[in-house]
C-alpha cells in the first residue's frame, strides 16, 4: 500500500512537470569565457554583485580575472569567502546580510557546489526575506523572483549551475536537505575549463563521480523524458571517456572541457528526472560527518545499483552499451553487471575507498530515518526501499 502511495505521488509530479518553468541558464562556454561575463553584466544593467565563494578559491587566485574584469567595467562587488564544505544556514545568513548591507543587484556563486548552493540560498532569502531557510526546505517553497543569479563552477561534478536545488546543512541538527524551486535555476552559467585546471586529483575524481551519479540516477528513475535520457547518456559517455584522463593528467584541457560539459548535462538531467537513494544516503553522511558529497556518492553508488537488482538491469545494460564495455552476445544482466564493475574499477583506479570509516553505529537509526524521508515518496526510484533495506545498505558501506 505504501509503495502505491509513493508511485501515485511521483506520477502526480511527473504529470505536472511539463507545466513548470524548466528554464536553462544562458551559457558562456570555452576557454577564457570568464572574461566575457563583466561586459555582459554591464549590458544587463547589473551594477553591483555579491560574489559567494570560499577561502580555497581565493587563495589560489581563481577570482582575480573576474575581479579585474568587474573593476574594468565599473561594476561594484563584495566577496563572501566563508562558505564551508556542505554550506550551512549560518553561511547563507551571513552572506544575505552582506548582500543587504551593500545593496547588491545580483549574486554570483563562484566555486564548487558549496559556494553555488550557498549563493542559491542567499537568492532564496532575498526573494523571501520573511522566510527562514528551514521553512523553504523541500519543494516549491520560494516561488518568488530572485535577483539575477550567476553560477561559475570550478569543479566538474555538482551540476548546480543547471539545477533547481540548493543543498544546505543545519550545523545544529546535522541535517542536510535541499531547497528545490525552479526560480533557483541560475540565469547565467560560465563554463570556463581553465577554472578547473588547478583542481587537485582527488577533487577531480570525486566531483566527476558525483556527476556520474547524477546521470545514472536520473536515467534509471521513472521520471525520465526524452531530453533527460539523452542528457544522461551523453554525460555518462563523456565521463567514462574523460574522467580518468582529467584525474591523471589534469592539464588536458580537452578532458577538462568534456567533464565540465558532462557535469552540466547531468545537472540538466537530474533536475528534471530527480535522483535516488544514493543521494539520500550521501546527504546524511554529509550532514553528520561532513563527508564531501562527491566522495559519498562515489562510494555508495555501486552498492545501491547492486541492491536494486533486476529492476535496473535494462537501463544499466543500455549505459554499458553506450560506453562500449559489452559484446553483442552479452545478456542484459551481464551487461548491467559489467557496468557496475566498471564503476568499481573507476573508483579503484582513482584511489577512492569502498567503505566509510566514519560511520557510527549509534547514528544509524536517525540516518536511516532521514534518508527514508528524503527519498520517499518524492524520488521516482526504480525500486522503492523500506527502512530495513536502507539499514542493510548502511551496514554494507560501513568499514
pLDDT digits (tens, 9 = 90+) for 333-389: 999 999 999 999 999 999 999 999 999 999 999 999 999 999 999 999 999 999 999
Query: Would you give the DSSP letter of residue 176?
Result: E
**What are the respective helix, strand and coil percentages of the chain, to the nearest 5?**
60, 10, 30
pLDDT in tens, 284-334: 999 999 999 999 999 999 999 999 999 999 999 999 999 999 999 999 999
Average pLDDT over residues 188-196: 97
Tell me the per-residue pLDDT of 40-89, one tens digit each, with 9 for 90 and over. Answer: 999 999 999 999 999 999 999 999 999 999 999 999 999 999 999 989 99
CA–CA distance, 62 with 53 (Å, rounded to integer) = 10
pTM for the structure as a whole: 0.96
Architecture of domain 21-196 in this structure:
3-Layer(aba) Sandwich (3.40)
Assign domain 201-397 to its CATH superfamily.
Answer: Dehydroquinate synthase-like - alpha domain (1.20.1090.10)
User: Can you tell me the distance from the alpha carbon of 179 to that of 193, in angstroms, rounded to the nearest whole number?
Assistant: 28
Does residue 21 surpass a pLDDT of 90?
A: no
Question: Range(s) for CATH 1.20.1090.10 in the chain?
Answer: 201-397
DSSP for 30-64, written as a single string: STTGGGGHHHHHHHTT--EEEEE-BHHHHHTTTTH
Q: Hey, what's the cell of 321? A: 552499451
Tens digit of pLDDT for each residue in 201-215? 999 999 999 999 999
Q: Which runs of E-coded beta strand occur in 243-316? A: none
**How many helices, marked H, and strands, marked E, lie in the chain?**
15, 9
Amino acid at each position: 500500500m505504501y509503495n502505491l502511495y509513493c508511485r501515485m505521488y511521483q506520477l502526480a509530479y511527473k504529470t505536472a512537470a511539463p507545466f513548470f518553468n524548466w528554464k536553462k541558464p544562458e551559457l558562456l562556454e570555452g576557454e577564457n569565457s570568464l572574461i566575457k561575463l563583466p561586459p555582459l553584466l554591464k549590458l544587463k544593467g547589473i551594477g553591483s554583485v555579491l560574489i559567494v565563494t570560499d577561502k580555497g578559491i581565493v587563495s589560489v587566485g581563481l577570482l582575480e580575472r573576474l575581479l579585474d574584469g568587474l573593476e574594468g567595467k565599473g561594476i561594484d562587488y563584495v566577496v563572501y569567502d566563508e562558505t564551508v564544505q556542505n554550506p550551512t544556514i549560518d553561511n547563507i545568513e551571513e552572506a544575505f546580510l552582506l548582500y543587504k548591507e551593500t545593496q547588491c543587484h545580483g549574486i554570483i556563486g563562484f566555486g564548487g557546489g558549496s559556494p553555488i548552493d550557498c549563493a542559491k540560498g542567499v537568492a532564496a532569502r532575498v526573494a523571501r526575506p520573511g522566510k527562514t531557510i528551514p521553512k523553504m526546505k523541500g519543494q516549491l517553497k520560494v516561488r518568488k523572483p530572485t535577483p539575477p543569479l550567476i553560477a561559475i563552477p570550478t569543479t566538474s561534478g555538482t551540476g548546480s549551475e543547471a539545477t533547481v536545488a540548493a543543498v544546505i546543512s543545519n550545523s545544529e541538527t546535522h541535517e542536510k536537505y535541499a531547497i528545490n524551486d525552479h526560480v533557483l535555476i541560475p540565469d547565467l552559467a560560465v563554463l570556463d575549463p581553465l577554472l578547473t585546471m588547478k583542481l587537485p586529483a582527488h577533487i577531480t575524481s570525486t566531483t566527476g563521480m558525483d556527476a556520474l551519479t547524477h546521470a545514472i540516477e536520473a536515467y534509471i528513475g521513472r521520471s525520465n523524458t526524452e531530453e533527460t535520457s539523452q542528457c544522461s547518456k551523453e554525460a555518462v559517455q563523456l565521463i567514462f571517456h574523460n574522467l580518468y584522463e582529467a584525474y591523471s593528467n589534469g592539464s588536458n584541457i580537452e578532458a577538462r572541457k568534456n567533464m565540465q560539459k558532462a557535469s552540466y548535462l547531468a545537472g540538466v538531467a537530474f533536475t528534471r528526472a530527480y535522483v535516488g537513494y544514493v543521494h539520500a544516503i550521501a546527504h546524511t553522511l554529509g550532514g553528520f560527518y561532513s563527508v564531501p558529497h562527491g566522495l559519498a556518492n562515489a562510494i555508495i553508488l555501486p552498492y545501491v545499483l547492486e541492491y536494486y537488482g533486476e529492476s535496473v538491469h535494462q537501463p544499466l545494460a543500455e549505459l554499458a552499451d553506450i560506453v562500449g564495455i559489452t559484446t553483442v552476445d552479452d545478456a542484459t544482466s551481464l551487461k548491467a553487471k559489467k557496468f557496475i564493475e566498471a564503476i568499481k574499477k573507476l573508483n579503484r583506479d582513482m584511489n577512492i575507498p569502498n567503505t566509510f570509516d566514519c560511520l557510527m553505529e549509534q547514528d544509524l537509526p536517525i540516518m536511516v530515518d532521514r534518508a527514508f524521508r528524503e527519498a520517499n515518496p518524492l524520488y521516482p526510484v526504480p525500486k522503492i526501499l523500506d527502512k530495513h533495506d536502507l539499514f542493510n545498505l548502511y551496514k554494507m558501506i560501513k568499514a
